[in-house]
Amino acid sequence: MVTSPSGARAVARCDELGTVPYSDVAGMLFRPYLGGGHGATLDRLATWMEAAGMLARIDAAGNLVGRYEGLVADAPALLIGSHVDSVRDGGRYDGMLGVILGIEAVAWFAERGRRFPFAIEVIGFGDEEGSRFPVSMLTTRAVAGTLGGQDLDLRDGEGTTLAEALASFGLDVAQLDGAARRRDDILAYVEAHIEQGPVLEAENRALGVVSAIAAQYRLRAVVGGVAGHAGTMAMHLRRDALAAAAEMVLAIETIGGGGPDDLVATVGRLEAHPGVPNVVPGEVAFSIDIRAGTDVARDCAAGAVRRALDEIAARRRVSLDLALQQDLPATPCDAGLTALMGQAACAATGEDAPRVLVSGAGHDAMVIARLAPMSMLFIRCAGGISHNPAESVREADVELALRTMTDFIARYERQGS
């Protein structure tokens, strides 16, 4: 068993947290916000935080925060973190590896008796995935102070309210605003995360430095046709909602593939009604997810999608309703922090220049960027696979990530934080 801070120990700790009691379901990893697995996980993480010299607490939103004091009491903090929740049947490293690496970095400095003019805090956000309630980054937004009133009225799939879920955790929804941090409390935010994509592996690189988190639109499309008997409705008279939707999906794919490399467009969910084999579908609802490295590229693609779908709907004599469900602007990483992270990554890997990537996935960092400057480090994952039990990392890569994190913190101190 590895007992000192290392990439191997970080991987082993993630693996330990991938099973019951740290999952709500035996045989797979599923750790929804404020569930039993969440509570057990926070207890275990708190033990590791305290062993690393931190004081651990759970904030008003159910996030776990460990604080490693600086040379001066109550100094502002460099915040390191990611999320502890997981999707159903998810992988062991998405989110959790970033939290564990923060703990390992603090433990590395604690072993050497080293403290800084600033405090270091490690945070495990309780909800990034929207793993229980129908919104994402709920607890991250609580810390950033950007929750809206509608967030307090949420219910999960079983009808449990957010207030009830918090109460089961010993928390009070009326105190949720108490999780918000002041801008002068947080100097910067750093998040290490598996890439969740194949670029680093394809280029045989262990690490990448993130320049920005992609802009994202999420829409819901509803196509209305006319349902009818599959045997008696002539083909030329049909107003088939599913056939129209199929053409729309292909148009979305074409537009996504026709832009810059960081533009992607995805239909991930489609529902046909009435869903009967011998009935021409009368209504189809489907999701549209459009992402790009810049707002301009995303907005251009979204406009092209709207025009293409309107044309298809008119030609096929069906109705179309498009509703915007999520609008996340592109979030650039702080240039100064990105440069420091790049220098630290090169020192760890021996490369002449860091690999710089845009993150197509959303992360806690894009919300915390409203509170403090932020930087992200990506770690190679096998096949680019994520949100899947096949998620995998190399211990050697995680060791390089740990060296990068500790070197980044030292460089951050030298440049005057």
**Annotated binding-site residue numbers:** 83, 94, 129, 193, 218, 278, 291, 387
Strand partners, 270: 286
Token pair 């004091």: residue: 69
> Which residues participate in the annotated binding site for Zn(2+)?
83, 94, 129, 193, 387
Q: Name residue 194's amino acid.
A: I
* CB atoms inside a 10 Å sphere around CB 168: 13
SS (H, E, C) 235-304: HHHCCCHHHHHHHHHHHHHHHHHCCCCCCEEECCCEEEECCCCCEECCEEEEEEEEEECCHHHHHHHHHH
CA nearest 275: which of 283, 287, 264? Answer: 283
Helical (H) or strand (E) element with 310: helix 295-316
> Which residues participate in the annotated binding site for allantoate?
218, 278, 291
- Supply 74's token pair: 């109550």
Strand partners, 376: 191
Burial 149-165, CB ≥16 within 10 A → b, else e: eebeebebeeeeebbeb
Residue 311 CA: distances (Å) to CA of 50, 98, 218, 315, 376: 60, 45, 20, 6, 41
Number of H helices, E strands in the chain: 11, 16
Dist. CA 286–CA 296, nearest whole Å? 24
Dist. CA 365–CA 209, nearest whole Å? 13
Give me the torsion for CA of 225, 230, 234, 235, rounded to 10°.
70
Half-sphere exposure of 343 (CA within 13 A, CB side): 13
Q: Name residue 165's amino acid.
A: A
3-state secondary structure of 44: helix
CA nearest 101: which of 370, 385, 403, 304? Answer: 403
Q: Name residue 32's amino acid.
A: P
